[in-house]
Amino acid sequence: MVEKPKDVDIGGKMPTIEVSHQDLCRLVGKSIPINKLKEEGILFAKGEIDEAKGDLLKIDIKDTNRPDLWSTEGIAREIKGRYVSGGLPRYKTKKSGIVVKVDKGLKGIRPFTVCAVVKNLKIYDHSLSQLIQLQEKVSVTFGRNRKEVAIGVYDLNRIKPPIRFTTVKPDGIKFIPLEFRKALTPRQILKEHPKGREFGYLLEALPEYPMFIDSAEEVLSIPPIINSEYTGKVTKETKDVFIECSGFNLKFLIPALNVMVAALSDRGGDIERVRVVYPGRVLETPELEPKAFELNLEYLNTVSGLDLSIERACRLLNQARYEAKPSGKRIKLLYPAYRQDIMHQRDVVEDVLISYGYNKIEAVIPKLATVGSQNPIESFSSTVSDIMAGLGLQEVLSYILTNKKNLFEKMNLREGGSVEIENIVSANWSVFRTWLLPSLLEFLSRNKHVEYPQGIFEIGDVVNLDNREETKTKDTRKMAVALTDNVVGYEDISSVLDSLLRSLGTEYKLNRIEHPSFIRGRVAGIFVRGRKIGFVGEINPLVLEKWDLEKPVVGLELDLQGLVS
């Protein structure tokens, strides 16, 4: 829709947003001094005030799974439940009569969309800035930089339904993109418009591009790149808006749309449903019916360490914006449709503790008749870390969760076995990593602006399938190294390996192996006591291309537990 606000973090970082203190208090329905907001109020929204300049607050939200908290409206909603009135927020909807027809040609391009209408808005400076910020934050952070979720917001009064979600040839049409004055083809937009240059990689390899277009042949947008200047410019004069979320998985699109419309409803807007017609199915969105869940009181008290009555637990849950009713020793719950993070009773326990107040929980020293000691693999890992740092390498730390594309496709491997998350919140964090080198290549791809040469290492756990284990999985401690420069080769990485193993007093052998992630003939298996514990070599150019790395990279990976045992 519009340019993202300045100073808003993107990517895998915790979301940082800017809000007006005065606007926040107005939405809460109570004046809250900034000091009290810092010390208590903002904690209910899992946030921390990093900076306060006059009326402007910069808030760091400590949860990447709660996009409903990434706006003034969402924060106010949580605080209001504790200070003014709680209970389940309910959102009434009615039919808009608007139809969006989805063409079958979008399969493999951008196959899904969900849509909504919000009417009778009173848009002013604060509400407009929050709309822009929430739209961009959800698209970039929750939506994986617009790949999984891209959101478009339009002036409904400039649109003539029905609307088609279709495809267009790269040079098949011209329209004026947002914040431009001349008409461009989609191909030209990818090259000339700032948003086209930023997000064009999501479309440039496709034979046709996705497009929303109305019955008057007016272009709404080319998602996930840019809206049109005519329909996609929302101003303080706009009263009614049309919202669409497009992507590849309804599991992400539906909560993203719900977050957007809930925020606008909290500003006084009236929500209307849109009929989305797919080949073979019909959806009516947004879907705002509350979701049901149950919490066991005994489980709550065991996990929390508290001794809450069922009545007290229900009151705390109502403050957290649930509808909670006792049912024997269980609590029957309804929670808002804009939340998609409730997957286990522990998620609900967290909300109880937030309402109770973490600072009110008394610390208890565990009564354990044991003597603590460091795990041998931890001591060994520390030793290895010291050696690698002594070789002039920088240690990095990455997430144990990743995705199959990074593990396999980008590494030039066929998809293999991996431990998957059943109820994923984001496709970017859907499986446990099975090896470390992909994480190092991702790190290098994000730091191409840093001075060369670059030498990094990581020590961490990976998770593999193992039917011999009770859990059918096995955690293994590994260490990986990656070096990159204008000129770097097998000799550079093998010398790092030799220095490490000689420092550890470990004899080893290198035998030629085949590995699709490495250049053929420039990779070797590392063998200790006749057992293969890793590999070392020059990364395949095909892999470098997929990671958008322009300089050669060499790497190695070792099973540290194989060295200890």
Transcribe 492-534 into DSSP letters.
Answer: HHHHHHHHHHHHTT---EEEE---TTEEEEEEEEEEETTEEEE
Question: In angstroms, what CA-CA distances link 92 with 265, 270, 282, 335, 403?
Answer: 9, 8, 21, 15, 37
Whether the pLDDT of residue 29 is over 70: the answer is yes
Whether the pLDDT of residue 369 is over 80: the answer is no
Q: Using the 8-state DSSP alphabet, how is residue 465 labeled? A: E
Query: 181 CB contacts (<8 Å, ≥6 apart)?
Result: none
State the average pLDDT over residues 3-28.
Answer: 70
Scanning the structure block, which residue is given the tokens 């607050």? 57
State the average pLDDT over residues 289-312.
Answer: 95
Q: What is the CB neighbour count within 10 angstroms for residue 518?
A: 24
- Angle between helix axes 297-304 and 345-356 (nearest 10 degrees) is 60
Q: What is the CB neighbour count within 10 angstroms for residue 290?
A: 17
Whether the pLDDT of residue 2 is over 50: the answer is no
Whether the pLDDT of residue 363 is over 70: the answer is yes
Distance CA 414, CA 431 (A): 16
Whether the pLDDT of residue 153 is over 90: the answer is yes
Contact between 88 and 249 under an 8 Å Cβ cutoff? The reply is no
Q: Where in the chain is the domain with CATH 3.30.930.10?
A: 376-564
Under CATH, which architecture does the 376-564 domain have?
2-Layer Sandwich (3.30)
Strand 431-432 and strand 454-465: pairing?
A: unpaired
Q: Where in the chain is the domain with CATH 3.30.56.10?
A: 16-83, 291-358
Whether the pLDDT of residue 205 is over 80: the answer is yes
User: Which amino acid would we find at residue 249?
Assistant: N
Query: 353 CB contacts (<8 Å, ≥6 apart)?
Result: 304, 361
- Closest Cα partner for 358 from 44, 55, 97? 44
pTM of this structure = 0.71
- Among 276-280, 395-399, 560-564, the range scoring the smallest mean pLDDT is 560-564
CATH entry, 16-83, from 3.40.50.2300, 3.30.56.10, 3.40.50.720, 3.40.50.150: 3.30.56.10
Which 3 state secondary structure label does DSSP give 87? coil
Whether the pLDDT of residue 6 is over 70: the answer is no
Q: What is the CB neighbour count within 10 angstroms for residue 387?
A: 18
Query: 502 CB contacts (<8 Å, ≥6 apart)?
Result: none
Q: Where in the chain is the domain with CATH 3.50.40.10?
A: 93-285
Confidence of residue 7 (pLDDT cuts 50, 70, 90): very low
Q: What is the pLDDT of residue 472?
A: 84
First to last CA, the chain: 57
Under CATH, which architecture does the 291-358 domain have?
2-Layer Sandwich (3.30)
pLDDT > 90: what percent of the chain?
83
User: Which amino acid would we find at residue 342?
Assistant: I
Q: What is the CB neighbour count within 10 angstroms for residue 3?
A: 11
Distance CA 128, CA 133 (A): 9
Whether the pLDDT of residue 470 is over 90: the answer is no
Question: In angstroms, what CA-CA distances link 374 with 381, 384, 558?
Answer: 11, 16, 22
Q: In terms of DSSP H, where are the helices of 357-453?
A: 376-390, 404-407, 437-445
Confidence of residue 11 (pLDDT cuts 50, 70, 90): very low
List of long-range contacts for 416-423, beta carbons under 8 Å, 24+ apart: 417/464, 417/465, 418/465, 419/463, 419/464, 419/465, 419/473, 423/343
Strand 394-395 and strand 112-119: pairing?
A: unpaired
Contact between 564 and 505 under an 8 Å Cβ cutoff? The reply is no
CA atoms within 13 A on the CB side of 84: 13
Which 3 state secondary structure label does DSSP give 137? helix
Distance CA 428, CA 421 (A): 11
Whether the pLDDT of residue 52 is over 50: the answer is yes
Q: Using the 8-state DSSP alphabet, how is residue 338 labeled? A: T
Contact between 220 and 213 under an 8 Å Cβ cutoff? The reply is yes
State the average pLDDT over residues 155-182.
Answer: 96
Q: What is the dihedral of CA 4, 7, 13, 15, to 10 degrees?
A: -70
Distance CA 45, CA 57 (A): 14
Query: 87 CB contacts (<8 Å, ≥6 apart)?
Result: 81, 318, 321, 322, 323
Query: 111 CB contacts (<8 Å, ≥6 apart)?
Result: 102, 248
Distance CA 96, CA 243 (A): 12
Under CATH, which architecture does the 93-285 domain have?
3-Layer(bba) Sandwich (3.50)
Whether the pLDDT of residue 12 is over 80: the answer is no
